[in-house]
Structure 1
Amino acid sequence: MVESIGDSRCPLNVQCIWTGQAKVQIAVSKAEMSSTAELVIGANPQNNAIVTVGTNKYSITLEKVIPYPGGGQTREKKEAVLQVKCL
């Protein structure tokens, strides 16, 4: 489950000093157990995490956060595209 998405990536058609990042906080739960991770794309990426919940391990990869920021656009609801594999 995606808990939060933060997006500071440089918008399209804008010249920025820093490319920015999109950060996604996730929580993986099973019964009463849960584990959390933060995934990052953009500057200093950390887009993959191994999450353990009980005896199960999952590889979670952040593929993208959409929509990409655009210069002058109004804020739109962000969505994270994740790939999850059971190890």
Structure 2
Amino acid sequence: MSYRHGYGKNQRKILECLRDGTPRTSAEVAAATGLRTVVVMNTMRALDGHKLVAESSERGGHKARKWAITPADATTDRATETGENR
């Protein structure tokens, strides 16, 4: 089994899409990145688990969740949690 440090290409695409601070639905992120919606949804859950994104209080159409990058001060050491410093 191979362990990859840092972010995968899908995670990087999604974080880059959310970088401007505008909360977006998984469908909006999928359209902007060219990824399939199901891939975005699964990756968002993983990023949420690492506290890199969080569900926004805003909602999209049909009450879809919107996601945004977690503010840097919301967690103590995200780099350590995600293995970026290895």
- Where on the TM-score scale, by shorter chain, does this alignment land: which range? under 0.3
User: What is the TM-score normalised by the length of structure 1?
Assistant: 0.27
Structure of greater Rg: 1
More relative contact order, 1 or 2 (CA 8 Å, 6+ apart): 2
**Bigger share in helix:** 2
If the length of structure 2 is used for normalisation, what is the TM-score?
A: 0.27
